[in-house]
């Protein structure tokens, strides 16, 4: 972790979890691809209540994070509409510190979402390895998080699952990644008309 001493600028993304670079092999029953072969799945990055996040490659070889929703969720009343709302909300989010949505199919069987892949460990993994961070590193980290949350709020979305496991720490400078992690992100309707809430997106590790 070259950037954790505070010497380099840290880029953070509000995304679904990433656990520091460990990728597990595909398991029996995992799809080989999504999007009619547009995105080939290479390995597993994480698993959550909504589904599995995979590391994948586009046809041009670009690295992507692919969230594949658990098939049984598609049968729940209103799920596909809610997932389509989540995708639309994630597409509205911009800024330096979030990973962009690349593609999605809420009507797929199963439904799936693709975001740019942002390499880097989660903040949780960093803290478990190095312990407390120096003040200058924390200052940069806090500024990145503030920018990410500002971008999310400007899109009319509320992040309801902000925690170290959902924050990616990248060593390249701000601007190399952009969305909410979502990459692939889970967005839920609030009870207040016109507002939405998004726990996070897949841009790399879990869901």
Residue pLDDT, tens place only, 16-33: 333 335 689 999 999 999
Residue 18, token pair as written in the block: 């990433």
Output the six-digit token pair for 30: 């995992």
What is the per-residue pLDDT for 134? 92
Highest mean pLDDT among 48-52, 77-81, 161-165: 77-81
Lowest mean pLDDT among 59-63, 124-128, 146-150, 202-206: 202-206
Q: Is the pLDDT of residue 48 over 50?
A: yes
Enumerate residues 6+ apart whose C-beta is below 8 A from 52.
30, 44, 46, 67, 68, 70, 207
In angstroms, the CA 67 to CA 105 distance is 11
pTM for this structure?
0.71
Task: Find the helix or strand (DSSP H, E) in which 199 lies.
Answer: strand 196-200
How many whole angstroms separate alpha carbon 116 and alpha carbon 118? 6
Q: Which residue has the higher pLDDT, 64 or 90?
A: 64
pLDDT at 96: 73
**Mean pLDDT over the full length of the chain:** 75
Q: What's the pLDDT score for residue 190? A: 33
85 is catalytic: no
What does the pLDDT read at residue 3? 33
The DSSP element (H or E) to which 157 belongs, if any, is strand 157-158
Q: Per mean pLDDT, which range of 54-63, 94-103, 122-131 is the poorest?
A: 94-103
Whether pLDDT at 72 is above 70:
yes
Given a cut of 50, is residue 76 above it in pLDDT? yes
Question: What is the pLDDT confidence band of residue 171, given thresholds at 50, 70 and 90?
Answer: low
pLDDT tens by residue, 177-189: 333 333 333 343 3
Task: Output phi, psi for 3, to 5 deg.
Answer: -90, 0
Find the catalytic residue in 85, 103, 161, 172. Answer: 161
Region 86-106: mean pLDDT is 86
């Amino acid at each position: 972790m070259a950037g954790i001493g505070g010497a380099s600028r840290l880029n953070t993304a509000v995304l679904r979890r990433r656990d520091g670079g460990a990728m597990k092999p595909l398991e029996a029953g995992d799809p080989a691809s999504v999007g009619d072969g547009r995105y080939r799945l290479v390995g597993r990055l994480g698993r959550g209540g909504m589904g599995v996040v995979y590391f994948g490659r586009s046809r041009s070889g670009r690295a992507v994070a692919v969230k594949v929703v658990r098939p049984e969720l598609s049968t729940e009343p209103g799920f596909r509409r809610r997932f389509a709302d989540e995708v639309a909300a994630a597409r509205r989010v911009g800024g330096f510190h979030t990973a962009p949505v690349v593609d999605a199919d809420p009507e797929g069987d199963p439904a799936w979402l693709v975001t740019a892949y942002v390499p880097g460990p989660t903040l949780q993994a960093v803290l478990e390895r190095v312990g407390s961070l120096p003040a200058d590193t924390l200052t940069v980290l806090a500024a990145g998080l503030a920018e990410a949350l500002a971008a999310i709020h400007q899109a009319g979305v509320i992040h309801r699952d902000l925690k170290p496991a959902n924050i990616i720490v990248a060593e390249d400078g701000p601007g190399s990644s952009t969305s909410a992690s979502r990459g692939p992100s889970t967005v839920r309707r609030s009870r207040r008309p016109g507002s939405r809430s998004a726990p996070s997106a897949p841009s790399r590790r879990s869901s």
